[in-house]
Chain A
């Protein structure tokens, strides 16, 4: 396993593991951008697809739905890492495919 894969897995294990304020289910759903409910659907989807379109209102809506700032912090981190990991995996798969067909 390369050093970057090891550090990637350590990061993912930490943010989805124990000792956090948002529920494990909520953090996993944000990581996968699937299975969320309420205002987090919009916030997480924007973080995944185009994070510079996130607005103050998206964050206020999450607060109004009862999430603490710590929970919002964790959910947004999980969404960002989840998308970056998916891009990384897709690109590494494309590299393998390119070499097979080369």
Chain B
């Protein structure tokens, strides 16, 4: 973590929470948790509400679909921590490792439905070029995604275009697979609130 305050500058409430996490998960507290626990009234609390709404609010996309979108956007942004964190949650939500690995390896041939494929393509272009146009969106509608599904997918990209930037700018440490496994279990059970 590039800023010492984000690593060690938390208030007593957060420090108690971190001790409980270490005790129950047997893992070190990951930097994503440390970031949202630092002065949570400034960033963490409003961002957790936004992320929970995007990832767990009512939607025609499943939780696995939205976690896969988060992993895919993070791949385009080149954010290692978030690729690993959200592909772990997607694998668990889908109970399907292959679908997640194949999508991240090659979107064109991945064993997923056309509406999701076209949506991921649009989200990737948005993250890469920072803009999409009407033709890009028309392709997603033509593939069978509804307006509401596109809005819900853009909510995921809103959340992860913030989180990826902060993970990279503050240089989140990338822990081993056990930490992501434990984090995925928590995020599936409790969401982002």
Contacts and interface: CB of A to CB of B under 8 A. Distances in A.
A58 to B, nearest CB: 9
B78 interface: yes
Interface residues of B, number: 52
SS of A interface (majority): helix
A95 B151 contact: yes
A7 B57 CA distance: 12
B161 interface: yes
A8 B158 contact: yes
Interface in A1-41: 2-4, 7-8, 10-11, 14-15, 19-20
Interface string A67-89: 00110111011011101111110
A88 B43 CA distance: 19
Interface residues of A, number: 48
Nearest to B47: A11
B136 A52 contact: no
Interface of B: 2-6, 9, 38-39, 41-43, 46-47, 49-50, 53-54, 57, 77-79, 122, 126-127, 130-138, 141, 147, 150-151, 154-155, 157-159, 161-162, 164-171
